[in-house]
Each structure stands twice: as C-alpha cells, then as structure tokens.
Chain A
C-alpha cells in the first residue's frame, strides 16, 4: 500500500525544511524517499496549498494515572457540561478539564496531535497510568517515572551510595514503570511534607534525611545522563507558585552542575516579589537565563482563563494552595513511601491580578526565549488549562495584534506590571513546528517521530492556511497516524491504537536483591508486582511497546 501526499507546503524543522513544496510517500506506515519504479500509488491526496507538518507531540500532559482519575471523579459538574455521545466510530465519554481517556485520544487526534506524554508516573502507580493510557485511542503515549521523594532513593543518598548504584536503581525504575524519562517533583519536598515540613528551598535540609533538593537534583540529573537516555531530568522545581520563587528557579538551573535539565511548567516558577502586591513577573530573568544556559530546556505551562483543575505530585504545594480551590474541594495524598499527589480545582480569571499576571508571564517567557528548540508549548494540561486550548495559545504566539487585544482586557494592575505589549515577536509556522514537533521529539527521545524524513513513522498533520491561527490549528484537514488516515476535517474517521514509547538502558540486575529486601521489609506489595509487563500494555491488541534507543551507558562522568 503506497500513499502519496502531493504538493503540500512542508514544515519539517528536523531537516531544515521551511515551507518547501514537496511530495511525500508513505509505505506500510513509514515515510519513504520515493516509490520503486514498478510501484503503483494506491491512494493520493492533493495537498496543494495546504500546510504539512509531522503530527504534534505534547511532551507534558497529565493524561493517565491516579491523580488524573481523582480529578475526573471529583468533577462531575464539569463533565456534565461536556457530554460526548457515542458515534458510529467513537465511544462515548466526556470532555473539558479532565476528559475521559477515550475522549482524550479522539480530541488530541482531531487537533493534529499524535503523541502525548504523562509527566508524573509514580512507580507504584505505573500500572494504572498505563491502563489509562491503554484506553486512550489513536495517539502514541509514554511517560516519565517520578523519583526523588521515594524513601529508597533518599536512603541511598543519605548513605552516600555510589553513583553507579543510584544509576542502576534509576534504570530499574525506568524498566519497571515502562517510562521514557525520569521526573523529579519538588525534589525531596513530597517526602519532607510527610515529616510536616511545609517548604523546602533548594539548599534547605530534609528534616529526616538531611539531604537537600540540590543533592537530589545533582544525583538524578547525573544518573539520567550517565544512563545515556535522551530525555534530560524533567524537573518540577521547589516552591511552585510561591511569589519570589524566581530565585529558586535560577539557582536550580545551576544545581545540576552542567548536566542537562528540563524545567517544566516554568511559568509557575517565574514569580518575583516586586510591586505593591509583592507579586511580579520574573519572565525576563528566567528567559535570559535559559538563553544563556545551553543545558537548560523548559516548557511553559501557560495558564488560560476559565475553569480547570490542577493535578500534581507536589502534595506539599498543593496542600498549601488548597485554600484557593474553586470549587472549594481538594484531594491530597501521601503515597506508598514513593510519592504523593494533590488535586485542586482552579478557576483562572482575567480580572484577578495574580491570574492575569500569570497569563502574561507565560507569554513573556515564550516570546523572550530565543531558541524554539529549548522551549515547549504546554499548558501543563490540565493545570494551566485543558489541552483543547492549544490552538488559542498558538494564535496568541503567532498574532501580536490578537495578543495585545487580549492583553487590554486584563486586570489593569496586572497590565501595568507586564512588558508583554511591548514585545513584538510573532512565532512563525516553522518555529511552531519546532516547539510542537521536531523539538519535542528530540527532547523526549523519539527517534522516528516529530519529523518527516525517510524512515519516520507517518504521523502527519495537514492544515489549511488561515490567518486566524486558532481556526487553522483547531481543525486539520487530515491527520495520518502510522500512515492511516484517522482524522478528516477535524473529525475522527478511523480509530487506531498507538504505541507506548519507553527506553531501556542497561543496568546491573543485582540491584534487585537489596530492593527486594527493602520491599519485603517495609512495603505492602511484592517488588515483582511493581513491574509492568509488555503484555499488560499490549493487552487485547490495543497498542504495543516501542523501545526507543539510548546512547549507551557512560561510566562515571566525573
């Protein structure tokens, strides 16, 4: 079966292609250079005048696992406003801030996204995360396993265990959780909260373990690097949402001593304390630091106005913010000497000073960071806004006059505290394609996604050019997933099941001896039952595990 996509204007930043008119050929779900001489085109799509990109990749979206399901359970009132009836092809569900798994998959695909990565897989909850992602149709998925507040790791750190032993434990966790990266949330802080600490700055000591978040970051960022996995340590820094956390964030960039770090939802970590209300934008300083430090990347975690729900592993900060819940309810959990979570519904309002400034801070960061390969388009779904608002966010980035119109509607005090209206930059289609495709694939470590080169999986999105970028990105003409046409005119036309991407660095299997003893002595489940098998993910023929390559393990880099 050979498919030809004819005459589209292609944006493929991985190969430096910026709006070049070209033909693409797909055979058996992959892009090929050209057909064999005797090969007949079985299906041709005339894409003249259309914009063609790889399928978009959301590198940070809460789509599966315990806290997402708590968010769903908590908010029947939100679901009721967005019921999704079943159709000939699609099953029923519900949408808006914490959509059902089925609706999540359909809506991502209908927006031209072909992959999403759950950023906070608790190893003890990994099975649930994969069950939920397994019930998320069409798109590819994967996730980052959370470490850094688990007692096993903190005990290793306190005992000053050799870095190689830590690397083995980190690798074991990647295998057991079927993850493609490692995330740390409020390094050490989730554990510290269980000991009744209410704040933990970068160089503060954990009351019991006598280690600091800096120690955690140093050890884990080095482990990730020495294991040779592509995705840098994914960091949700300390002090989320705290005015003045800008300093913590800037210091965090230096904490890894040069090992790569990805700072996630950095908007929530870019606050100063200037002005009458002691809350100000730290975007300029943060963007400047990102521009200067090549080992740092970030996603924004843009907020957009309206109802949403925040779901985070950061039980310490979520507990502190629970008083701001709207509607007034929250779930906070301590989890299995492994991690924690907090789910707090939020309503961001443009007439609220803090919310309005948060909105402006996110956009300032987007526009002041020079290198689109190191800044990523996220709302930290659903924490800043549901993922369905991405087309609106893209318009804000690409259309200065639209952005400024929105800005003038904000709380006036917030307007006075922001430089946003003076920033003239508008993102180009090429830059959007970097942020949401080529850059995201490179960052996550997806070697065959996010680009349109020969051998790449044929995950392709086709748009009709429109000056209204929100309209353009809301409703692609075509979306191909692994070569199959899954969406036409923004509607699902075929339901497929995507792959789960993982990475499997080598490690010394003897790490399990001590780990098993630890589980038998202190835990309430067997170590072997923590591990999620390939069969569990591929159950019922719905998807498969795709192991992405690693660079290979490096021994002792210092």
Chain B
C-alpha cells in the first residue's frame, strides 16, 4: 500500500498556484497534478466544474488538415496564407485567446484589413455600451471580499458564471475591516427556479430571493431605481414582486455601507439589455450620493476580457472592431459576426481555450486555429491545432473586473504551437508572397 502511494507520487508532479482561465475570476490558487507518462492533468485542489473541463482534457496532438486531409504544419500555413491573401473582406472571429495571442491577431488584422469579433461580443457589448453612454461606478473582487455588506445579484446566480465566487469572495474567514463575513446579506433578483442554497450564510441564513423571469428584469430594475431615487410608484407589485418587498430592498440598499450590485451581461440576453444594465448602474450612482455602493459585472470566458482590453489599447476601440478601411473602425452593429457573416469572404476562427466553440455553420471559406480536441461537423478549409495558453504555453489573462491580469504558465511540455507562433508563420508567408509580388514574379498584373 505504502509502495503504491509512493509510486503514484513519483508518477506525477504537483504544480502549485496554477491560474485557471475557465471563467473570468482567474483563480490562481489551483494545485494541478501532471501524470509523467501521459502528461494528463488533474486538478487536485481548489478546482471547480469548469476548471476540470479546461484542464483535464486529455492531451491530443492531431495533425493540421487542409480540406480534411492531414498535412504538415508548413503546408497548412501555406494554405491558410493563400486563403487570407485572396480574401477581400476577411473576418477574424471566435478570438478565444489571451493577451499575447491577441497582440498577434491585431498585428495580422492591421496587415490584411480584417474585421475582428469575439464569440462573446454580443454579451460584452451590453456592458461596453453602458460605459460609452453613461459610464459606471464599479468595484473589483478583493474589494467585494473585504467590504461588501449587501450583495444583490440581478438576473444571475453568479456561480454559473463564477463557480467559486461565494467561496472566495463572500463566505470567507476574515475581512480586513472587522466585518463578520457571515453577517452579509445576499439578495437575488430573478432566480425563480435556481437552487440557491450555496448562497446561504455559514450559519444557515438563506439568501433572500425576489423571484421573477428574465423578461421581467427590465421593469424590475427600472422600478428599483425609481424607489432608490426616492420616487413612489402607484402600483402594488412589479414583475410579480410586492411593492413592499421592493421598498424594503431599496431601504436596505440605502442603509448598507458598501452594497454590491452584480449582473452577468451574458445572462441578460434580450434586446437592448444595455438599458437594464444602465438602470442597475444608475441605482449604484444614486446610492453613492449618500453611501457607498458599486457595480460588479460578472462574466468572462474564452479570453473575452483579455481580448477586449488588448484591442482597446492597440486600436483605441473595443470589439467588434475593423481594419478594413486601413485604420481601426468601431461599429458595433456593422462589424458584428452576425452582419459580417453575410459580407466576409473568409473567416479565420480562433478558439484555443474551449474545443466546443466551433465556427458557426456557413458557406464561407473558414480557417480554424483551434484547440487540439476540436471536432467538426463541417470540416473547415484549413485546421491548424494550437496550444492552450496556461496549459501548453505561457500567456497573460485579464480577470472579469478588467483590473487584475495574471501570467499564465505552461503546465506540460507540448509540441502544439501557440496562436502567436502560428500567426508569425502566416505573416512570414505573407511577406514572402509580398516580396515575390514586388519583384514581379508572383503576379502577372503588376503595373
């Protein structure tokens, strides 16, 4: 028995303080074991359902493919380059990567005049529009952990977005300011059918739920904003919630020393949800006239924060963004993947973190730089497997609060190239083509 345990220890190495990019919280306290014979990873400590999906994918090293036929890396690069070169309106979408990958993507997009859109753009844009229209007052995870005395989650249970939120930011052992974490009040707006037992305090006090359906969130937050502002509403209930309960919540918000209003832009999935978010941040703004309150946008997956931040500093604009006119150009409607699907003549789809995020079905020529475990219903013109940042190679990722960024380190030796490496290869191939073109050998139409 002792020998068995001993040998299993020798068969694997433990890696401490691993950063997990499975959600926007970027927990950086994971302990991961790597089996020496297979390089398979398992999360030993501080895991969650999502970290297991990200990190415990068995390693796979498929060949690149062109039209479904296995080819070597160089041939795949050549095929991808040729397609991008022919394209007049290339779209780079998916964008499941991190900062270093996105730096390379932006360079390539500038070079070939591509439009850029992240797979989570629709959700991200709901928040972006609020920042651009009214701004907001928000906070970050460590502030929540130490200060929040009232947390109101609106249209989200938070844990399906950030699985360890309550463990790491709410029901903690100690806070900096002598506040007993167990005394915190949690309120859910919405959440009719959710099991919310995780939100009960350590001493068994359940969270308050004001249940309603997602479609009723807009009227609910509008009413709450009116009440917090001191207006009275001549109705008995809003969205099925008694006026008295809403008034009580408004009063608790006014009395709280540091309330936090959390929402998930992805969950608020209805037209013009940015107006609901603006009402939530409007409540925060009103509360800050007399006490302290802050918004907390929860979310973040497939590198969306990292990619958006990198786009903003490099080009000046968040996603969706376009280099089609030789300079960055921001038009949330025109440049969305949905619109571009009709116009683009080539799609470069990137998904390095999640093999299940495939390009949407389309007739447009598609190149995929994707996770090694990706399976396709519709085989793309070119598939080049790439490594996962923070598993196969290094990188840098932003948390959903957009302030903290963390270094990602490789957890195992891997032959898979990083996205940046593949893009460098494509750029080198483009340069060779351009040089041939310049010397008149590559193109008969030279003037």
Interchain CB contact under 8 A, A83 and B145 = no
Contact call A536/B138, Cβ cutoff below 8 A: no
Whether A335 sits at the interface, judged by CB under 8 Å, is: yes
CB atoms of A208 and B177 under 8 A apart: yes
Does A84 lie at the interface of the complex (its beta carbon under 8 Å from any beta carbon of B)? yes
A194 to B132, CA, bound (A): 24
A124 touches B404 (CB 8 A): yes
Q: Are A125 and B404 in contact (CB under 8 A)?
A: yes
Check A334 for interface membership: any CB of B closer than 8 A: yes
B100 within 8 A of A: yes
| CB-based contact B294/A334 at 8 Å | yes
Given A92-B315, A94-B315, A333-B138; A529-B110 close (CB under 8 Å) = no
The number of residues on chain A lying at the interface, defined by a beta carbon within 8 Å of a beta carbon of chain B, is: 68
A135 near B314 with CB under 8 A, answer yes
Q: How far is the CA of A125 from the CA of B136 in the complex (A)?
A: 19
* Nearest A residue (CB) for B111: A86
B44 within 8 Å of A by Cβ? no
Given contacts A334-B140, A524-B168, contact A86 B316 (CB under 8 A): no
Task: List 6 tightest A-B contacts by C-beta distance, closest first.
Answer: A94-B316, A329-B135, A83-B327, A85-B326, A85-B327, A100-B316
A337 and B176 in contact, given A83-B329, A536-B407 (Cβ under 8 angstroms) = yes
Instruction: Say whether A502 faces chain B, with CB atoms less than 8 Å apart.
Output: no
> A94 to B328, Cβ gap below 8 A?
yes
Number of interface residues of B (CB under 8 A): 65
Residue interface mask B167-181, A partner, CB < 8 A = 1:
011000111110000
Task: Pick out which of these stretches binds chain B: A126-134, A401-409, A480-488.
Answer: A126-134
Q: Known: A91-B110, A521-B173, A522-B146. Is A79-B317 also a contact (CB below 8 A)?
A: yes
Q: Does B257 contact A (CB under 8 A)?
A: yes
Produce 1/0 per residue, B123-158, CB < 8 A to A.
000001001111111111111011100000000000
CB distance from A175 to the nearest CB of B (A): 16
- If A94-B328, A128-B405 touch, whether A335 touches B143 (CB-CB below 8 Å) is yes
Given A194-B147, A521-B174, A529-B28, do A72 and B405 touch, yes or no (CB 8 Å)?
no
B25: min CB distance to chain A, Å? 8
A128–B402 alpha-carbon span in the complex (Å)? 10
Chain A neighbourhood of B398, CB < 8 A: 128
Number of A-B pairs, beta carbon distance below 8 Å? 193
Contact with B along A61-89 (1 / 0, CB 8 A): 00010101110111110011001111000
CB closest residue in chain B, given A102? B314
Whether, in the assembled complex, B406 has its beta carbon less than 8 Å from a beta carbon of chain A, the answer is: yes
Q: Per a CB cutoff under 8 Å, which of A69, A122, A125, A195 touches B313?
A: A69
Q: Does B312 contact A (CB under 8 A)?
A: yes
Contact pattern, A 323-335, Cβ under 8 Å of B = 1, otherwise 0: 0010011111111
22 contacts between A and B (CB under 8 A): A72-B316, A86-B326, A92-B110, A92-B327, A94-B316, A100-B316, A101-B314, A124-B142, A128-B403, A132-B313, A135-B103, A135-B314, A329-B132, A334-B139, A334-B143, A336-B140, A338-B142, A343-B135, A521-B174, A524-B145, A529-B28, A539-B100
Question: Which residues does chain B contribute within 8 Å of A99, judged by CB atoms?
Answer: 316
B317 touches A76 (CB 8 A): yes
A79-B316, A523-B142 are known; give 11 further A-B pairs, CB within 8 A: A68-B313, A69-B313, A84-B327, A127-B405, A128-B405, A195-B292, A331-B135, A332-B135, A521-B174, A524-B169, A528-B17
Output the nearest chain A residue to B106 by Cβ-Cβ distance: A91
B406 engages A525 (CB within 8 Å): yes
Given A86-B110, A92-B110 in contact, is the A100-B328 Cβ separation under 8 Å?
Answer: yes
Answer yes or no: A40 CB below 8 A from chain B CBs. Answer: no
Q: Which residues of A contact B (CB under 8 A)?
A: 64, 66, 68-70, 72-76, 79-80, 83-86, 91-94, 98-103, 122, 124-125, 127-128, 131-132, 135, 151, 155, 193-196, 208, 319, 322, 325, 328-338, 343, 521-526, 528-529, 533, 536, 539-540
Chain B residues near A68: list those with CB within 8 A.
Answer: 313
- Nearest B residue to A319 via CB reads B288
Given A92-B328, A331-B135, A526 and B405 contact (CB-CB distance below 8 Å): no
Is B72 part of the contact surface with A, judged by Cβ < 8 Å?
Answer: no
User: In the complex, A131 Cα to B310 Cα: how many Å?
Assistant: 9
- B26 proximity list for chain A (CB < 8 A): 525
Check A333 against B140 for contact (C-beta < 8 Å).
Answer: yes
> What 0/1 readout, one digit per residue, does chain B (394-413) give for beta carbons within 8 Å of chain A?
00101000111111000000
Q: How far is the CA of A151 from the CA of B28 in the complex (A)?
A: 21
Q: How far is the CA of A330 from the CA of B136 in the complex (A)?
A: 6
The CA of A132 and the CA of B138, in the complex, are separated in Å by 22
CB distance from A328 to the nearest CB of B (A): 8
Which residues of chain A have C-beta atoms less than 8 A from B110's C-beta? 86, 91-92
Q: Give the distance to chain A from B15, nearest Cβ to Cβ, in Å.
A: 13
Set of chain B residues within 8 Å of A335, measured between Cβ atoms: 139-140, 143, 403
Q: A73-B128, A330-B135, A524-B168 are in contact. Are A194 and B143 (CB under 8 A)?
A: yes
Interface status of B51 (Cβ within 8 A of chain A): no
Residues of B within 8 A of A (CB): 17, 19, 25-26, 28-29, 99-100, 103, 107, 110, 128, 131-143, 145-147, 168-169, 173-177, 257-258, 288, 291-292, 294, 309-310, 312-318, 323, 325-330, 396, 398, 402-407
Min CB–CB distance B306 → chain A (angstroms) = 10
Q: Please, how many angstroms separate the alpha-carbon atoms of A324 and B69 in the complex?
A: 62
Q: How far is the CB of B174 from chain A (nearest CB, A)?
A: 6
Task: Check B406 against A331 for contact (C-beta < 8 Å).
Answer: no
In contact, B318 and A73 (Cβ under 8 angstroms): yes
In this complex, what residue of B is CB-closest to A527?
Answer: B17
Judging by beta carbons under 8 Å apart, are B143 and A337 in contact? yes
A76 vs B311: C-alpha distance when bound (angstroms): 13
Question: Does the CB pair A196–B316 fall under 8 Å?
Answer: no
Q: Which residues of B contact A525 (CB under 8 A)?
A: 26, 28, 142, 404, 406
B403:A125 contact, CB within 8 angstroms: yes
Please state if A131 and B326 are interface contacts (CB–CB under 8 Å): no
Question: With the chains together, A93 CA to B316 CA distance in Å?
Answer: 7
Neighbouring B residues of A127 by C-beta, 8 Å:
396, 405-407
A93–B330 Cα distance when bound, in Å, is 12
- Taking the nearest CB of chain B, how far is it from the CB of A286, in angstroms? 32
| A70 vs B403: C-alpha distance when bound (angstroms) | 10
CA distance A232 to B138 in the complex (A): 32
Q: Which one of A334, A337, A529 lies within 8 Å of B407 (CB-CB)? A: A529
- B175, closest chain A residue (CB): A522
Q: Which residue of B lies closest to A99 (CB)?
A: B316
Please tell me if the beta carbons of A94 and B327 are within 8 angstroms of each other in the complex: yes
A131 to B402, CA, bound (A): 14
Q: How far is the CB of A526 from chain B (nearest CB, A)?
A: 5
CB atoms of A86 and B327 under 8 A apart: yes
